Structure 1
Amino acid sequence: MSGLLPVEEAQARLFALREPLGAENIAFSESLGRYVSQAIVARRDQPAAPLSAMDGYAVRFADLPGPWTIIGESAAGSVPSAPVGKGEAMRIFTGAWLPDGADTVIIQEDVAADGTTLRLSTADTIQPGQHIRARASDFATGTTLVPAGTRLTPGAIAAAIMSGAGQLTVGRRPRVAILTTGDELVQPGHALAPGQIPDSNGTMLAAMLAGEPAVVTLPLHIRDDRTILSRVLKDLARRHDVIVTVGGASVGDHDHVRGALGDAGGSIDFWKIAMRPGKPLIAGSIGDALLLGLPGNPSSAFVTATLFLIPLVRHLAGAPSPLPDIHQAPLASALGPGAKRRDYLRARLDRGALTVFDGQDSGRTAPLVEANALVIREIGVPPRAAGEQADYIAIA
């Protein structure tokens, strides 16, 4: 553990510590953001019969240009009471079943009705089959609508419901506990004594997980006490899948996470990553729970949560590709050379160009207000000029 792990190796080792959690059946109303464990296959044709795409009249194309005798109507949600025969027309509404015998819908603006007599009132050409949605034109029985591993969006949920399914099988949400450590931290809104600072990291991490498929325990805080930390870790491990500690991950006299984890019967898989900010990240396990120890500086906590915590939650919840997507955009200004660790630079993507902020100190929170991207600068790369492409990760 003396060397610095490359980011990709550390991510792979983190995921290898535990397989995705098991699946569960849930209601559609609870499914937003969850990962589908079993593909959703259509149990029905959609539409189940030819439907009208417009309000108008269903006729036989062979009977044009009319006139026709109106024999009734077809509304959405009911089956036409009779077929359409020669010289006949049926009033029809959007989404209604096309009556047998009819093969064309003429919109109501193109006809004139006088009692039960219908006449064409347009010089426009009527096309055979116009304004009809064919049976199974959306999807047919047996079509895979939502592949396994898909994260459910509102549109995917609608398709799943339309498929005829009664419920969804999705990956279980990991239970995540967030634990901040440090004598200097004070809960938000409380008065600060000299040397104290507000505890922003716990709430920040909870907010970062708010849109993820996780059950998050409200942020907890304890002082720099190895004995207490060990006891808390042991207790949290019985009730959670992931324990996230913030602070105490480095080598100072008051950095107790590694020691407390060992005292609680846990073990470390790796420590220290070749990245900046976020080098002193810890990954290990205690019982069936995983421990992810994030550094305490705000930007370090934010960056490591983006690269490790959120991907871990997604992995456990069943995501086939849990890592953040890498994009490219041109630099708005020149960027200096890379150093001995990979940099994740707070930046803003605006009008298609990346502006890297001047202040990259890991203790700063102000840059996180405007940042919507992390620009990736690889180890030892030469300087880049304005306009050159740079890799970045989009952040909220």
Structure 2
Amino acid sequence: MTPLLSLEEAQARLLALAPQRPSSVMGLMPFDTRRYLAQDITARRTQPAADLSAMDGYAVAPGLGPWQRVGESRAGLPFGGTLASGQCVRISTGAVVPEGTQSIVLQEDAAVTGDAISATEPPSPGKHIRKAGFDFRQGDVILKRGTAYSPAVLALAASAGHAELPLTEPPGVAVLDSGDELVAPGAPCALHQIPASNGLMLGAMLYPYVGRVDILGPVADDPAALAAALERAEDSHILITSGGASVGDHDLIQQALKDWGARIDFWRVALKPGKPLMVATRPSRSGPDLVILGLPGNPVSSYVTAFLFALPLVRASMGDPHPLPRAVTMVAGEDLPPTERRREFLRAVIEGDRVRLAGSQDSSALLALAQADCLIDRPAGSPTLKAGEPVPVFLLRNG
């Protein structure tokens, strides 16, 4: 039997297969943030276009004062002249700084006697002035290809003079969960049955990125039923299966995929939970091959492997240059047991700057999974890690 792949090798092989999505030019509204920039974006204007005041107060000419007030500069209505020696204007935050200005004397630092303005402290040249172009200048690359579209990106693009942007289109994703023991959520459930939760769980994980997920299950462990479900995924770009990816007598997904024309790229990863993970491809009617990610049927295993593989696959297909989740370092709030031959991801909760285990670590324990807000990353063959020692953690909110 071939050795298990490491997590990094399996992720690299999967992401190399990611079906690259085309782009389309979209207006800044509606606010569709499930996309990534398809090319570098340059500024069409300079921001700020002129020197602006950073505070409310008085724009003063060079010198120590007092200064004679000769007008006002407001946001959207600048002072029309140039300050001469001994002059100043009232100025508001965001207003254009008049030519001849040395600095801005803050409103609270100014002594006002009629139209005469004095400073309680000597003004420093350039104080409280936002120089033209300090944020960006026309022609600057302000956003790189692969940047995730976000409210801040939208604001920057609008400020730089853009009304539309080239954005990648999300992939079409289908999710198929299978097993004779599965019944639809809410349906009567016999002792030998369980409600099908994986399809809904995976769909909910993927939805924020793609906006639509086709749920194809639950499907019984029956070749004809699986073949019919797979046909419904014909036009998808990514197919996620849950359950049946191993090679037991009743694990039929691999054979069903082969009968459908898929080629198995690899399966089995040195991961706990999540060893029976499978990756396959199938020729598409048009465009890149359909990519198939077969996840384990146990719900925790399915969730952890979706976090580590399915979400990065979707992000990579939309051009994200850094699709993998990133770990942060925290402190163990309790002793963590040693690991064996597989890398382990423990469900955990954050308490202040520490993390502790979230109940049972069994791969079927949904209660602990629902309580967890992070995964503790434990390398294979690690000794006991003592409370208070640093440990790498993946925050589940960061995808």
What residue number does 1:99 align with?
98
Tell me, in whole angstroms, the C-alpha distance in 1 between the residues paired with 2:91 and 2:356. 57
> 1:49–1:134: 8 Å Cα contact kept in structure 2?
yes
After the TM superposition, list the runs of 4 or more consecutive aligned residues in structure 1 that deviate by more than 6 angstroms.
none
Name the counterpart of 1:169: 166
Greater shift in the superposed pair: 195-204 or 20-29: 20-29
Deviation at 1:264, TM superposition (A): 1.2
Return closer, same or farther for 1:83/1:264 CA change in 2, 3 Å cut-off: same
Q: Distance in 1 between matches of 2:297 and 2:224?
A: 20
1:251 equivalent in alignment to 2:247: yes
Identify the residue that residue 202 of structure 1 maps to in structure 2. Answer: 199
**How many angstroms does 1:259 deviate by?**
1.3
Distance between the aligned counterparts of 1:129 and 1:392, measured in 2? 45
Whether 2:306 is the aligned partner of 1:308: answer no
Mean alpha-carbon deviation: is it higher for 99-108 or for 324-333? 99-108
Structure-2 change in CA distance of 1:120 and 1:77 (3 Å): closer
**Structure 1 segment 228-247 matched on structure 2, within 5 A:** 228-238=225-235, 240-247=236-243
Q: Which residue of 2 aligns with 1:20?
A: 20
CA shift for structure 1 position 354: 2.6
Partners of 1:336 and 1:194 in 2: how far apart? 34
Q: Work out whether residues 308 and 325 of structure 2, in 8 Å CA contact, stay in contact via their aligned partners in 1.
A: yes
Deviates more, 1:97-106 or 1:169-178: 97-106
Q: 1:151 aligns with which of 148, 151, 157?
A: 148
One-letter identity of the residue aligned with 1:289: L
Kept after mapping to 1: 8 A contact 2:358/2:369: no
- CA distance in structure 2 between the partners assigned to 1:57 and 1:123 by the alignment: 13
The corresponding residue for 1:328 is: 329
In the superposition, the TM-score normalised over structure 1's length comes to 0.89
Distance 1:135 1:268, change over 3 A: same
**Deviation (angstroms), 1:122:** 4.9
Distance in 2 between residues matched to 1:63 and 1:329, nearest whole Å: 53
CA contact (8 A) 1:175 1:215 kept: no
> Would the aligned equivalents of 1:231 and 1:264 in 2 still touch at CA under 8 Å?
no
Matched, 1:126 2:110: no
Alpha carbons of structure 1 residues 143 and 31: separation in structure 2 relative to 1, 3 Å:
farther
| Contact map agreement 1:176 1:215 (CA 8 A) in 2 | no
Comparing 194-203 and 147-156, the one that deviates more: 147-156
5+ residue gaps, structure 2: 284-288
Identity %: 41
**1:27-81 per-position Cα deviation (integer Å, ceiling 9, x unaligned):** 3344535322322222222110111222333332248213x253x4332223433
Cα pair distance change 1:337/1:130, threshold 3 Å: closer
Tell me, in whole angstroms, the C-alpha distance in 2 between the residues paired with 1:286 and 1:386: 47
Deviation at 1:277, TM superposition (A): 1.1
**Residues 45/283 of structure 1: CA separation in 2 closer, same or farther (3 Å cut):** same
Among candidates 259, 275, 283, match of residue 279 of structure 2: 283
**Distance across 2 between alignment mates of 1:337 and 1:253:** 33
C-alpha displacement of 1:194? 3.4
Rounded to whole Å, the distance in 2 between the matches of 1:286 and 1:368 is 33
Partner amino acid, structure 2, of 1:323: L
Give structure 1 stretches of 5+ with no counterpart: none
Amino acid at match of 1:104: S
Q: Contact 2:18–2:313 at 8 Å: present in 1 too?
A: no
Structure 2: distance between partners of 1:216 and 1:69: 61
Partners of 2:182 and 2:196 within 8 A in 1? yes
More divergent stretch after superposition (245-254 vs 4-13): 245-254
Matched residue of 2:212: which SS? strand
SS in 2 for 1:105: strand
Residue-by-residue CA offset, 1:352-374 (whole Å, 9 max, x unaligned): 22323452111110111221222
Distance in 2 (alpha carbons) for counterparts of 1:137 and 1:37: 26
In structure 2, what is the Cα distance between the partners aligned to 1:394 and 1:123?
50
* 1:75 corresponds to: 74
> Quick check: 2:147–2:320 contact (8 Å CA) kept in 1?
yes
Q: Show the counterpart of 1:262.
A: 258
Give, in angstroms, the shift of residue 208 of structure 1.
1.6
**Letter paired with 2:189:** L
Partner of 2:286: none
Whole-Å separation in 2 of the counterparts to 1:104 and 1:191: 76
In structure 2, relative to structure 1, the CA distance for the partners of 1:249 and 1:135 (3 Å cut) is: same
- 1:237 counterpart SS class: coil
Aligned-partner Cα distance in 2 for 1:16–1:123: 65
Alpha-carbon separation, structure 2, partners of 1:78 and 1:36: 35
What is the rounded CA distance, in whole Å, between the counterparts of 1:284 and 1:51 in structure 2? 57
Aligned length: 389
Partner residue in 2 for 1:58: 59
Instruction: Please state whether the residue corresponding to 1:345 is helix, strand or coil.
Output: strand
Distance (whole Å) between structure 1 residues aligned to residue 87 and residue 375 of structure 2: 66
Residue type of the alignment partner of 1:92: I
Using the size of structure 2 for normalisation, the TM-score is 0.89
- Alignment-mate amino acid for residue 300 of structure 1: S
Distance, in Å, in 2 between the alignment partners of 1:83 and 1:340 is 76
Is the CA contact (8 Å cut-off) linking 2:198 and 2:242 kept in structure 1?
yes
Cα shift at 1:305: 0.3
Secondary structure at the aligned position of 2:348 is classed as strand
Pairing 1:337–2:338 present:
yes
The amino acid of 1:61's aligned partner reads P
Range with greater deviation from structure 2 (9-18 or 149-158): 149-158
Shift of 1:294: 1.0
